[in-house]
């Protein structure tokens, strides 16, 4: 048994995105005095998915009742709004429209109404005339308006989690890439690229696009591979064409929501993201190719099964990625007035999508425990919205595992309840 002093920290979190930082924040809140360290390979927080997304606080309407996504998004959206208000972070609850442009989409739109109401969300059905009252530039056969959707600055939220963790005595190290994990009977030791060794009772893996690799470094089989899907955006040069948030009816075969129109918290309107396979986990453009990562993606049987099953959809997405004209024509279904000249390329994001061996795209959040370890293996959208409840759940599991090493939370030691 190691002495308490021989551990560098109690809980070590890999990943300074919104999920890792929310986990560290939850630990400092629920078990004050716990020694928590976050290792992030970049030189600041939120440099990957958290800093490259649509900035939408999702209502939870899309997700099946009982799923973690539904539970955490509905609760997380409300908590996030309160968190932003309490910490003076830019946000707005604007509501959004989901618009059907083809008659084949109407049954799916209707099913969303039922689902939204089952989640207790304020959902209003709209006809074509009412759509134009909300969004004069948008055309559709029918739509629904969900009142609790909003926008915020997720980078600012993650940065605030980080500063709260530091204030509570936690340690956050940037520029610290974990390259080796050694699990022992007493806990876990990790080594960073610059040679630092950190010993912890429990390791929490929130490595996003690299979460499956970190799981394998720890000796665990994640059962799925992260297949990176880039989401490209354009910025609307005539932002006055869109007042708020406008989404198509999503294709239920995919966990992606389809190209939408998003007026962000800074007033700019983004159009996107699409979903194209990325030849690198951090491949933000077609020229970002990482041969080893590409080879690993291609070696995963699930990648080929997705390609076989969804080649038609995938080919359309690639065509719209390579041809601005094709992209514009797709957007014109929702916003007829838009032209190619109105769209200016804007930075892309890359989604970490876990894919099973049989080609199933893992839909729900996936959190797995292993000895001395908690892995977050799938945290796609709406994980930024749901970051507070996800962080609490991961923290709860990590603290349970820490207790198994003979540790008691400092507040318990000093007679306070945790
Ligand atoms: C295009 C796009 C649009 C989206 N839109 C929305 C939206 O509107 N609303 C919403 O709620 N969600 C949205 N999402 C999803 C949301 O952004 C993610 O679910 C969320 O940011 C995931 O956070 P994370 O902390 O798990 O991952 P990340 O933010 O990717 O963080 C993981 C971190 O781990 C670090 N890391 C990896 N490996 C190591 C290592 N070995 N050592 C040290 N550090 C390491 C990385 O550098 C990274 O900073 C979107 C995502 C994308 C890509």
Task: Give the HSE-up count for residue 397: Cα atoms under 13 Å, Cβ half-sphere.
Answer: 20
381 C-alpha to ligand 1 centroid (Å): 9
Work out which ligand 1 atom sits closest to the CA atom of 73.
11
Question: The whole model's pTM is what?
Answer: 0.96
Name the residue with higher pLDDT: 126 or 2: 126
19 C-alpha to ligand 1 centroid (Å): 8
Instruction: Tell me what pLDDT residue 412 has.
Output: 63
User: Once rounded to an integer, what is the mean pLDDT over residues 211-232?
Assistant: 97
DSSP string, 326-342: HHHHHHHTT-TT--GGG
Beta carbons of 342 and 44 less than 8 angstroms apart: no
Residues in the chain: 418
Task: Give the HSE-up count for residue 104: Cα atoms under 13 Å, Cβ half-sphere.
Answer: 3
User: What are the helix and strand counts (H, E) for the chain?
Assistant: 11, 20
51 C-alpha to ligand 1 centroid (Å): 7
Structure tokens at 341: 């000249």
| Residue whose pair of structure tokens reads 């059907």 in the numeric block | 100
Nearest CA to ligand 1 atom 2: 53
In this predicted model, what pLDDT tens digit does every residue of 41-84 receive, in sequence order? 999 999 999 999 999 999 999 999 999 999 999 999 999 999 99
Rounded to a whole number of angstroms, the distance between the first and last alpha carbons of the chain is: 25
Which helix or strand (DSSP H or E) is residue 156 part of?
A: helix 154-167
How, if at all, do strands 373-378 and 171-173 pair?
unpaired
Residues with CB under 6 A from ligand 1: 14-20, 39-42, 46-50, 52-56, 58, 177-178, 206-210, 214, 231, 273, 349-351, 379-385
271 C-alpha to ligand 1 centroid (Å): 20
CA 164 to chain CA centroid, nearest Å = 21
pLDDT bracket for residue 418 (50, 70, 90): very low
Q: Does residue 415 have a pLDDT over 60?
A: no
Beta carbons of 156 and 89 less than 8 angstroms apart: yes
User: How many CB atoms within 10 Å of residue 237?
Assistant: 14
In this predicted model, what pLDDT tens digit does every residue of 310-364 receive, in sequence order? 888 888 889 999 999 999 999 999 999 999 999 999 999 999 999 999 999 999 9
Work out which ligand 1 atom sits closest to the CA atom of 22.
25
Structure tokens at 314: 């995938």
**Mean pLDDT for all residues in the chain:** 95
Q: Does residue 413 have a pLDDT over 80?
A: no
Beta carbons of 206 and 23 less than 8 angstroms apart: yes
244 C-alpha to ligand 1 centroid (Å): 24
Q: Does residue 254 have a pLDDT over 80?
A: no
Nearest CA to ligand 1 atom 35: 15
CA distance 373 to 101: 46
User: Once rounded to an integer, what is the mean pLDDT over residues 146-166?
Assistant: 98
Structure tokens at 287: 């020229």
CA distance 15 to 160: 15
In this predicted model, what pLDDT tens digit does every residue of 259-310 receive, in sequence order? 899 999 999 999 999 999 999 999 999 999 999 999 999 999 999 999 898 8
Structure tokens at 118: 């089952």
Structure tokens at 282: 């951090």
């Amino acid at each position: 048994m190691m002495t308490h002093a021989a551990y560098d920290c109690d809980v070590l979190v890999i990943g300074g995105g919104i999920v890792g930082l929310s986990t560290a924040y939850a630990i400092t809140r629920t078990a004050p005095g716990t020694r928590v360290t976050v290792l992030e390979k970049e030189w600041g927080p939120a440099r990957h998915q958290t800093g490259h997304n649509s900035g939408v606080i999702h209502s939870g309407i899309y997700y099946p009742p009982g799923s973690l996504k539904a539970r955490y998004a509905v609760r997380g959206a409300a908590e996030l709004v309160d968190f932003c208000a309490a910490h003076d972070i830019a946000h707005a609850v604007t509501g959004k429209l989901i618009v059907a442009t083809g008659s084949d989409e109407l049954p799916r739109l209707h099913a969303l109404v039922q689902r939204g109401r089952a989640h207790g969300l304020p959902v209003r059905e709209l006809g074509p005339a009412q759509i134009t009252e909300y969004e004069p530039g948008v055309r559709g056969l029918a739509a629904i308006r969900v009142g609790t959707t909003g926008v915020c600055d997720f980078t600012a939220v993650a940065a605030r989690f980080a500063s709260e963790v530091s204030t509570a005595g936690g340690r956050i190290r940037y520029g610290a890439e974990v390259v080796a994990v050694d699990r022992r009977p007493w806990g876990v030791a990790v080594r960073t690229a610059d040679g630092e060794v950190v010993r912890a009772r429990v390791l929490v893996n929130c490595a996003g696009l690299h979460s499956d690799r970190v799981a394998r470094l720890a000796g665990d089989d994640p059962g799925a591979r992260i297949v990176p899907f880039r989401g490209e955006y354009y910025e609307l040069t005539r932002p006055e064409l869109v007042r708020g948030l406008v989404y198509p009816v999503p294709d239920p075969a995919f966990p992606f929501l389809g190209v939408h129109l998003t007026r962000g918290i800074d007033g700019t309107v983004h159009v996107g993201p699409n979903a194209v396979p990325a030849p690198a986990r951090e491949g933000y453009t077609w020229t970002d190719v990482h041969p080893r990562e590409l080879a690993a993606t291609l070696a995963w049987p699930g990648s080929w099964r997705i390609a076989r099953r969804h080649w038609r959809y995938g080919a359309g997405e690639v065509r719209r990625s390579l041809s601005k004209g094709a992209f514009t024509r797709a957007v014109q279904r929702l916003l007829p007035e838009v032209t190619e000249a109105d769209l200016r390329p804007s930075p892309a994001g890359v989604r970490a999508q876990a894919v099973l061996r049989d080609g199933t795209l893992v839909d729900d959040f996936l959190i797995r425990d292993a000895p001395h370890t908690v892995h977050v293996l799938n945290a796609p959208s709406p994980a930024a919205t749901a970051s507070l409840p996800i962080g609490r759940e991961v923290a709860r599991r990590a603290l349970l595992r820490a207790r198994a090493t003979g540790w008691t939370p400092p507040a318990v030691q000093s007679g306070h309840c945790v």
